[in-house]
Structure 1
Amino acid sequence: MLTSSLLRLLALALPAACAPLVSAQAPNPFDEPTPNPTVWPECAGGQIQVMLLGTAHLANNSPDTYTVDVPDVLVPERQAELDDLVERLAAFAPQHVGVEWVWGEEDARADSLYAAYLASGGLSDDADEAVQVGFRLARRLGLDGVQPIDFPRDPLSTPIREYVARGGEIKHTMDYNQLIPDRLRVDEDSLIRAVSLVDYYTWLNDDSALRGNHFQMFMALGAGQDADYPGPNKLTAWYGRNVNMVHHILRTVRPGDERVFVVVGAGHVRSMRHMLDEAPHFCPVSPLPYLEDV
């Protein structure tokens, strides 16, 4: 099942017999058609298109409490699948490739590792998606490098844990598990082992999956009472980080640029897409049309 550490944490405060406030026959808001034209806008002239590819952390190196257990992507079969993935994405022809490494702090590391990657002919024992997807795509397109765009994270979950530990309540209005459609009720650790990486990325970047990932952040909204706001503070920090990531994309582009590719944890996609859609500089683009078989 698509889930998160926050989902488990907030479930502790969910009444055991919590009845949803919506009818069992009510339409599930996550069962929306894909692609959905209301969430991926049509781009206007002069806007820079930004393709957002949501990903699991391929090196199993995320500091998040819950992560997908990704099998070794360095084996030949998975390397061939990554070649296939990148060949499809290359049709977008971006002028820049953004990766989820920290802006400023990891620029020199990105430059040196990318230079070594080129010198090796595209070989690396680093399973990080920045390398396996970002470096691979940049090399395929003949780019000079990749651009870190991330912003340092806050320890977002700790205040909520502390709040619950000292008896704080989290307000719920429904059983949130009922919002997850049947097609997302899968063991993601098993799924990524059972299908190709192209098929996995297609599943992960479906808007229902992206929304199911993101809505769980808002379960934190009910954490707070009196002058204590751990839930809203968590969301504020999360959105602040994503705003700064979009700001870093803007710092990266140059006059005449038309397209940027960004590979980020799938949980970032919906908030970044909204910001890119609202900012007149940009137009967010789905990767799904590029992942389909032709």
Structure 2
Amino acid sequence: MSIGHNENKNMTFIKTIPVFLITLFVVTSTFGQESKQKTKILLLGTVHFETPHTDHFELKVDDFFNVKRQNELEDLTNVLSQTKATKVMIERPIENQRSCDSLYFLYLKNQYKLTVSEREQIGFRLAKKLKLNHVNCIDKFYGMRDSLMAVTAQQNNQLYLLKDLGTTANALISDYDNQLKNGTITQVLKYINKPEELKRNLSIYLKFMAKIGAGKNFAGAETVSDWYLRNLAIYSNIINQVEHSDKYVILIFGQGHIPILKHLLQNNDDFEIIELNSVLK
């Protein structure tokens, strides 16, 4: 009787070992995941200071070289520099990294005057205040099939969608123009980065464009996919250039990119999105 009882105890103990090891592995893995340091990332959606004439709907901005705007840019970058970010990423093609490095190096030596572009007025200026040796270029351009979409709209009696799109986009531009005329750069950036404003921009693609040609050639959906492809490529550049040692990263991009990039980064548990209104008080 006693021998059999001991054997049962031994068998129970042996069976318990794998369960214990599995439990220990799960607990250890969970603990490791919870303790992993996430990279904080601040997404700063901007208007384009120089009116680059690459978008169908553009804000005709004022003179960012005047004293008032330059002081506002100093105030903005002073606040952003308090984050102690270890990287500043800008909307410049990744293949232009070497030329960007050369210009930034000259700027650090006070041998280069910043152009009007927000990539330099905010990006270079901020990176210098953060004492960074490098500004990261992460843009990747993909053309959009606008002409095919327009032809499809005409063939499918959907020109009203393009008209509604234009009306909506122009209303958005007019609103931002009014904000810029009456507010500081910081106030404008806070306004255009509100969740409802990010949604307002993205809805232009999803409400109007995606509907054109649906059920036939999907020209509208394919045009929207080109926009998503560009932002996915930008996202790929972001996650490829962020290192484990980076505790805080600031990305400076046209406001239209932000809702997609924000969605992608929110679903990558290596990152923690920092809301702009928590930094720009």
Q: TM-score range by the shorter chain?
A: 0.7 to 0.9
Aligned 8 A contact 1:170 1:222 in 2:
no
Aligned 8 A contact 2:214 2:221 in 1:
no
Is the radius of gyration larger for structure 1 or structure 2? 2
Q: How far, CA to CA, are the matches of 1:144 and 1:185 in structure 2? A: 35
- Residue 41 of structure 2: aligned partner: 50
Gaps of 5+ in 2: 1-33
Query: Which letter does structure 2 place at the counterpart of 1:193?
Result: K
Deviation (angstroms), 1:269: 0.8
Aligned 8 A contact 1:53 1:286 in 2:
no
What's the secondary structure of 1:63's corresponding residue?
A: coil
- Residue 175 of structure 2: aligned partner: 187
- Residue 111 of structure 1: aligned partner: 101
Q: Deviations over 1:199-227 (max 9, x none)?
A: 11111111111111111110211111454
Deviation (angstroms), 1:77: 1.1
- 1:287/1:230 CA distance change after superposition, 3 Å: same
Are 2:210 and 1:221 aligned?
Answer: yes
Q: Deviations over 1:124-147 (max 9, x none)?
A: 241111101110110000000211
Query: Which letter does structure 1 place at the counterpart of 2:89?
Result: G
- 1:44/1:133 CA distance change after superposition, 3 Å: farther
Deviation (angstroms), 1:171: 9.1
More contact order relative to length (CA 8 Å, sep ≥ 6): 1
- Residue 157 of structure 1: aligned partner: 146
Q: How far, CA to CA, are the matches of 2:66 and 2:57 in structure 1? A: 24
Are 2:244 and 1:250 aligned?
Answer: no
Are 2:162 and 1:143 aligned?
Answer: no
Deviation (angstroms), 1:282: 1.7
> Which has the larger share of helix?
2
| Residues 1-294 of structure 1 mapped to structure 2, 5 A cutoff | 45-103=36-94, 105-120=95-110, 124-169=113-158, 187-218=175-206, 219-292=208-281
- 1:44/1:159 CA distance change after superposition, 3 Å: farther
Deviation (angstroms), 1:186: 5.4
Aligned 8 A contact 1:57 1:128 in 2:
yes
What's the secondary structure of 1:221's corresponding residue?
A: helix
Deviation (angstroms), 1:188: 2.3
Q: Deviations over 1:241-270 (max 9, x none)?
A: 111111111111223211111001101111
- 1:151/1:240 CA distance change after superposition, 3 Å: same
- Residue 40 of structure 1: aligned partner: none
Q: How far, CA to CA, are the matches of 2:131 and 2:233 in structure 1? A: 27
TM-score by length of 1: 0.76
- Residue 30 of structure 2: aligned partner: none
- 1:251/1:76 CA distance change after superposition, 3 Å: same
Q: How far, CA to CA, are the matches of 2:107 and 2:165 in structure 1? A: 44
Query: Which letter does structure 2 place at the counterpart of 1:200?
Result: V
- 1:70/1:186 CA distance change after superposition, 3 Å: closer
- 1:247/1:159 CA distance change after superposition, 3 Å: same
Paired residues in the alignment total 244
Query: Which letter does structure 2 place at the counterpart of 1:250?
Result: I
Query: Which letter does structure 1 place at the counterpart of 2:177?
Result: D
> Runs of at least 4 residues of structure 1 off by over 6 A?
none
